[in-house]
Structure 1
Amino acid sequence: MNGTVDPGAADAADPGPGPAASAAGPTPTPTLDVDRSDPAYRAWLAEAVRKVQADANRSADTHLLRFPLPEEWGIDLYLKDESTHPTGSLKHRLARSLFLHGLCNGWIRPEAPVVEASSGSTAVSEAYFAGLIGVPFVAVMPRTTSREKTRLIEFHGGRCHYVDDPRKMYAEAALLAERSGGHYMDQFTYAERATDWRGNNNIAESVYSQLRRERHPVPAWIVATAGTGGTSATIARYVRYMQHDTRICVADPEYSCFFDGWRNGDPTATGERGSRIEGIGRPRMEPSFMPGVIDRMMKVPDAASIAAVRALEQAIGRRAGGSTGTGLWSALKIVAEMAGNGSKGSVVTLLCDPGERYLDTYYSDAWLAEQGLDIGPYAAAIAAFLATGHWPD
């Protein structure tokens, strides 16, 4: 495809050290006074932490799926299937870490609500953990969030509070927490801090453990997508800590400022609208997004993301959300580069959440037409690559 059809060609390698994505972040919203030496509170806290840690023992590991490629290429492509978590998405890991972080810092207390700004999947997972420890939960989210996600938040006992402008989620969530005496979780600030990136069966450690007996046990590339930026930060830090020869690529959707901010070393970069690919892409550079640990970024058109998840269903019989498609599109382009220069090795990306949450959007031809999205050229490019081993020009 030529440049006019394939804006996904926007891509860049590491521009070198740049400024941090943001300042240290806001001070956590204070909760109503509680006597933290009170035996009743200490007992509640110990039980809450136990319940969250028990969930980790039950659900921390997830499957690593192979995407079928011709054996003779000598390249293996895997998807880490995070949709098998109890709340059905990659955000289950983040929510668990955020709750342990908030509990152990004394920010979450009995009966006080937890409030979060979220485009959906994090809120589903946080609603689950709030229900697990018995505290109220409120999700501040765009009115365009999929109906299935709002149903799941309510299923787990949470309440949805809508905003028309996604850029106003943060302030609205902080205000609700202040008014209720609750805690604003603020995933966009604390995602990279709450996760234990050195190990403890985090997503990176799990991937390397599962690849141990594969023919290419150390992946050449791991491709992630960014909503908070916490997952890419965790994987990249772990890779450096363990001294693996793996590079990190972050795939960014069409209406997101992360690519431009990273490429230009601009922590003040902003976007004009919210992302159509739920769960990833942001209108501002988030504090948890860490440009300095990323080797490469790709800008992926929304139509390419959707074509990729439909190709995934044809390849392995599994539906996934749009963020999976964003990462898969970039992973396939990296595989094409490797095949083109004769490199052997493995590439890993993420299956972030199930496609059943998006039947009325990414899997709806009517929605695509309404959005003016033509996935045909991108679907054709993927099909041609898988058939010939060459990415169309």
Structure 2
Amino acid sequence: MTSDHPNAWAADAIRRLRAEGRAYGPTPLRPLPLPALRDVRVYLKDESAHPTGSVKHRLVRAMFHEAIATGRITADTTVVAATGGAVAVAGAHFARLLDLPFLAVVPAKTPADTLARVEREGGRWQVAEQPPAAVQEEARAVAERLGGHFLDHFTDAERALTASREPTIADEIFTQLREEPHPVPAWIVTGAGTGATSASIGRHLRHHGHPTRLAVVDPENSAYFPAWASGCRDYATGMPSRIPGIGRPRTEPGFLPTVIDLVIPVPDAASLAALRWLHDTAAVPAGPAAGTGLWGVCHLVARMRESGARGSVVGLVGDHAEPYRNTHLDPEWVRARGLDPAPYAGVVERFATTGEWRPPTG
């Protein structure tokens, strides 16, 4: 086989992807101090430590890996994504690593900071001509016109994670907990955007026979909680999530309700109140989805405490705070969108210091 054979390029590209993953190693598992809860330990799996600052980094690496292995990405393929979020940044990062052109088709209201991050990673972007609900199909058409590859993270991420054979979030969590007082957690808590992360964790728990249960937190407007509760696999709300990275107006192909033990709906105002506690008290510079996750973690820890159970609970930090300084972390931005975290403010603080879990009702 000559060095210019397509298989030679593919093997080298996959080697570079794997080397990138090994270079940064597992993301940190950080203890979250909750002084009043001595019998239950809480940890945060910090996916913001990835080079592009998000849990989407490992998903996109897996999608590049799988597309190269199946011949859908070759040495001169233009990679196209339909997103104005973390997937676009990660896509540009891996395209640059492999010397491939990258184009993100982004919704009209994509923050300028995100577009700048795509450019810093060597990618290009163009504003979609269609409304947000049609951006996926527009990007797919652009990829076909360019003879490129459409990076469909809603359809492909879950399958790519399974095929990549690289350590998953769950692999890392169980390795990192090995020397801790409760090495097998009672719960792992995550959000669902594409659904790939929750599916990957759920598969791991079943493959290894762990008694750990999996909870998914779901923001307002999202289809995942009603889909899980009703058993309707094609449930749709038609409304976008206000918590970036999680929640969808329809159930996506990667969402596997059969591996999920509980879905917890979380008010957006509660997510923002919990986010503020993470920043101001716990000094965790996380994005809004981590606030949603923390609310769910507290709910589950309170249930464990009421039943006298001991153990550990692991939540996820899906991305870093920096992209949200002028949005979800800005009180004026929050008020302008009709969100009022005030009724939820102090709930997490009281729980951490006294063990009393008293969220607002109604």
TM over 0.5: yes
8 Å CA contact 1:80–1:351 kept in 2: the answer is yes
Structure 1 counterpart of 2:18, from 49, 53, 60: 53
Name the CA distance, whole Å, in 2 between partners of 1:295 and 1:165: 35
1:98 equivalent to 2:66? Answer no
Match of 1:211 in 2: 177
1:153 equivalent to 2:118? Answer yes
Any residues of structure 2 matched to 1:93-172 within 5 Å, and which?
93-163=58-128, 165-172=131-138
For residues 311-338 of structure 1, the C-alpha deviation after alignment (integer angstroms, 9 at most, x for no partner) is 1123331221111111111011111111
Amino acid at match of 1:69: L
Match of 2:338 in 1: 372
Amino acid at match of 1:250: V
Q: How far off its partner does 1:68 sit?
A: 0.6
Any residues of structure 2 matched to 1:61-80 within 5 Å, and which?
61-70=26-35, 73-80=38-45
Q: How far off its partner does 1:235 sit?
A: 0.5
The two structures have a TM-score, normalised by structure 1, of 0.87
Point out which structure has higher relative CO (alpha carbons under 8 A, 6+ apart). 1
> Sequence identity, in percent?
44
Match of 2:154 in 1: 188
Q: How far off its partner does 1:273 sit?
A: 2.2
The two structures have a TM-score, normalised by structure 2, of 0.94
Match of 1:249 in 2: 215
Match of 1:392 in 2: 358
Q: How far off its partner does 1:207 sit?
A: 0.3
Q: Residues 265 and 72 from structure 1, CA distance in 2 versus in 1: closer, same or farther, beyond 3 angstroms?
A: closer
Any residues of structure 2 matched to 1:313-352 within 5 Å, and which?
313-352=279-318
Amino acid at match of 1:260: P
Name the CA distance, whole Å, in 2 between partners of 1:302 and 1:119: 21
Amino acid at match of 2:122: G
Match of 1:6 in 2: none
1:274 equivalent to 2:240? Answer yes
Name the CA distance, whole Å, in 2 between partners of 1:38 and 1:103: 17
Q: Residues 139 and 37 from structure 1, CA distance in 2 versus in 1: closer, same or farther, beyond 3 angstroms?
A: farther
| Unaligned residue ranges in structure 1 (runs of 5+) | 1-35
Q: How far off its partner does 1:37 sit?
A: 9.1
Q: How far off its partner does 1:161 sit?
A: 2.8
For residues 223-270 of structure 1, the C-alpha deviation after alignment (integer angstroms, 9 at most, x for no partner) is 010110000000010011111110000001112111111111112211
For residues 6-47 of structure 1, the C-alpha deviation after alignment (integer angstroms, 9 at most, x for no partner) is xxxxxxxxxxxxxxxxxxxxxxxxxxxxxx999343332222
8 Å CA contact 2:36–2:351 kept in 1: the answer is no
1:357 equivalent to 2:349? Answer no
Name the CA distance, whole Å, in 1 between partners of 2:134 and 2:126: 12
Q: How far off its partner does 1:348 sit?
A: 0.3
Name the CA distance, whole Å, in 2 between partners of 1:60 and 1:234: 18
Count of matched residue positions in the alignment of Structure 1 and Structure 2: 358
Name the CA distance, whole Å, in 1 between partners of 2:223 and 2:9: 41
Match of 1:12 in 2: none
8 Å CA contact 1:112–1:136 kept in 2: the answer is yes
Match of 2:50 in 1: 85
8 Å CA contact 2:88–2:104 kept in 1: the answer is yes
Name the CA distance, whole Å, in 1 between partners of 2:270 and 2:18: 38
Q: How far off its partner does 1:148 sit?
A: 2.2
Amino acid at match of 2:204: Y
Farther-moved stretch of structure 1 (333-342 vs 206-215): 333-342
Match of 1:259 in 2: 225
Name the CA distance, whole Å, in 1 between partners of 2:183 and 2:18: 29
**What is the RMSD computed on CA atoms of the aligned residues?**
1.9
For residues 209-228 of structure 1, the C-alpha deviation after alignment (integer angstroms, 9 at most, x for no partner) is 00011111100000010110
